[in-house]
Amino acid sequence: MKKFNLLYVLLIMVALLVACGSSDEKSTDDQANDEVWARVQDSGELVVGTAGTLYPSTYYSEGSDELTGYEVEVAREVADRLGLEATFEIMGFDSMLTALSTDRVDIILAGPREESRKKFAFSDPIKYSYSTMVVRTDDHSGIESLKDLKGKKAGGAATTVYSEIAEKFGAEVVTYGNATNDAYLRDVDNGRTDTVINDYYLQRLALTAFPDLDIELHPDLKFHPTTDNVVMKKESDVLMDKVNEAIDEMKADGTLADISAEFFDGDDVSIEPAEEITEIEGIE
């Protein structure tokens, strides 16, 4: 009986060792197959693609050559928790997904869309928001509903969801390069365009920087709920797991809320807004 018990114990120990070995091998294989994670570990850097022109998400403070903003500081904190240093490549939004595909950058921060989900991986949200419009104060640029966009001119980048919304309702999109808020907003004020459709938080704060302009956020139109996420190549499984762990920690310990309060006038953009936001059929 004792020999049987000893044999039984030995068999269990062998089984456990095999299971542990398989788990370790799988973990090693996963890390080896994640080329992005291997690359950032070797370099010690997490290269982030960002616009550098959008207050308060990614911008240069006046008179400073130091890049900052909500997305920038979130990326820095995530990199730090991964034992890496965040470095930034400045580029237009239209170039960012190509930069990811060609390994020019390791991550960007953007919202998911159906087409991009097929090619790229998206982390848990770091920001929740919705869309609204900047319009002229005196007459709301003749826009009281989304249907009133027909025949209007909307300033925006060529490939964003905001331009897609404008086009869906019949507006002509006036495209810009990697322009600053100043260019977009002044064109609404002077009548070159009628509106800018964009993120609520970004536009609300942008307006405070230009009190001389006769423009405002539309008081009645809140539509298209959105998120911002950390985006990377589809096969970056290990990096994605580590980024999501860092985001979870930042939410739990209040770091994400603190960074948000610094850049969004005390608001916590890391939680979903309580307002009822209109969904737009056919827009992701």
What is the pTM (predicted TM-score) of this model? Answer: 0.74
Query: Can you give the CATH number for the domain in which 166 is found?
Result: 3.40.190.10
Cβ-proximal residues to 63 (8 Å cutoff; 6+ apart), any chain? none
109 found inside a domain: yes
| Burial of 217 (C-beta count, 10 Å sphere; 0-12/13-18/19+) | middle
CB 243 within 8 A of CB 82: yes
Check whether residue 91 and residue 53 sit in a common domain: yes
Check whether residue 160 and residue 106 sit in a common domain: no
Mean pLDDT to the nearest integer, 128-140:
97
Mean pLDDT to the nearest integer, 201-217:
92
272 found inside a domain: no
CB 82 within 8 A of CB 123: no
Check whether residue 218 and residue 244 sit in a common domain: no
Check whether residue 124 and residue 54 sit in a common domain: yes
Q: How many domains does the chain have?
A: 2
Task: Indicate whether 233 pLDDT > 70.
Answer: yes
Mean pLDDT to the nearest integer, 184-204:
95
Task: Indicate whether 20 pLDDT > 50.
Answer: no
Mean pLDDT is lowest, of 44-48, 85-89, 246-250, 270-274, for 270-274
Identify the band that residue 160 occupies on the pLDDT scale cut at 50, 70 and 90. Answer: confident
- pLDDT score, position 54: 85
Q: CA 268, CA 246: separation in Å to the nearest integer?
A: 18
Check whether residue 219 and residue 249 sit in a common domain: no
Check whether residue 98 and residue 59 sit in a common domain: yes
Check whether residue 194 and residue 140 sit in a common domain: yes
Identify the band that residue 33 occupies on the pLDDT scale cut at 50, 70 and 90. Answer: low
Check whether residue 233 and residue 164 sit in a common domain: no
90 found inside a domain: yes
Which amino acid is present at 90? I
Average pLDDT of the residues of the chain? 88
Identify the band that residue 2 occupies on the pLDDT scale cut at 50, 70 and 90. Answer: very low
90-99, 113-122, 158-167, 238-247, range with greatest mean pLDDT: 238-247
Boundaries of domain holding 143: 129-225
CB 211 within 8 A of CB 185: no
User: Which residue, among 191, 246, 263, has the nearest Cα to 75 in the 3D structure?
Assistant: 246
93 found inside a domain: yes
Mean pLDDT is lowest, of 15-19, 142-146, 237-241, 266-270, for 15-19
Task: Indicate whether 111 pLDDT > 70.
Answer: yes
Give the percent of the chain with pLDDT over 90.
Answer: 71
Cβ-proximal residues to 193 (8 Å cutoff; 6+ apart), any chain? 153, 154, 155, 174, 184, 187
3 found inside a domain: no
